[in-house]
Amino acid sequence: MTDQINYSGSEVDYADVLQTMRLVAEMNSGYHTEAEVRDYLGRITGQPVPDTVRVFTPLNINYGRRLTFGRDCFVNFGCTFLALGGITIEDDVFIGPHCVLATEYHPENPAARHTLLTKPIVVRRNAWLGADVKVLAGVTIGENAIVAAGSVVTKDVPAGTVVAGSPARVLREIDPDR
């Protein structure tokens, strides 16, 4: 086994991946208070996690050093963050149960399929991802947007819209009276 993971022309220290896996396993075992979960997340990401972040475990993360949480975020049970490419979760974001944010993908070409490619995911302020949403590499979810449950997001979501489906499509703009 090599000490580096190569992807998109960059390297990740495999020891950091193993450390993330160890900390995630500890965080997901048994009961932990919200403060203890935030402490684990701080050690996983290598940066302070705001004390207004609330995460229900289990939460699966493969690499924490490129994952950031804004203030007043909520992440529900059973989510998976494949974060080698970087995931930014801004302030006031809600993420429903069993969501997957996957910054990693493989080329279509069979000869190159063992190559790991990445693109970052950004979830802008006050966005809401319903249950079982999948967000693919390179996507930005716009400010105040809503992604309906079960959607697969393959393209950027405009701010202030509701999207749904697979692939997700804009249904309408947010109705402030609704």
C-beta of residue 134 within 8 angstroms of C-beta of residue 149:
no
Q: What are the beta bridge partners of residue 129?
A: 95, 147
> What pLDDT is recorded for position 7?
56
Q: What is the mean pLDDT of the chain?
A: 94
**pLDDT band, very low/low/confident/very high, at 1 (cuts 50, 70, 90):** very low
Report the catalytic residues.
Answer: 106
Q: Is 79 inside any structural domain?
A: yes
Q: Is 178 inside any structural domain?
A: no
C-beta of residue 95 within 8 angstroms of C-beta of residue 111:
no
pLDDT tens per residue across span 140-166:
999 999 999 999 999 999 999 999 999
pLDDT tens per residue across span 23-46:
999 999 999 999 999 999 999 999
Q: Are strands 117-118 and 104-105 parallel, antiparallel or unpaired?
A: antiparallel
> What pLDDT is recorded for position 114?
85
Whole-prediction pTM: 0.93
Percent above pLDDT 70 for the chain: 94
Q: Is 53 inside any structural domain?
A: yes
Q: How many structural domains comprise the chain?
A: 1
Q: Is 115 inside any structural domain?
A: yes
pLDDT for residue 115 is more than 90: no
Amino acid symbol at 159: A
Q: What are the beta bridge partners of residue 146?
A: 128, 162
Residues of the domain holding 52: 4-173
Q: Is 10 inside any structural domain?
A: yes
Residue 127 CB partners (closer than 8 Å, separation 6+): 90, 93, 94, 141, 142, 143, 144, 145, 146, 147, 157
Tokens describing residue 105:
């993908």
Q: Is 140 inside any structural domain?
A: yes
pLDDT for residue 2 is more than 60: no
Residue identified by tokens 């500890």 is 26
pLDDT for residue 5 is more than 70: no
CATH number, domain with residue 132: 2.160.10.10
pLDDT for residue 9 is more than 80: no
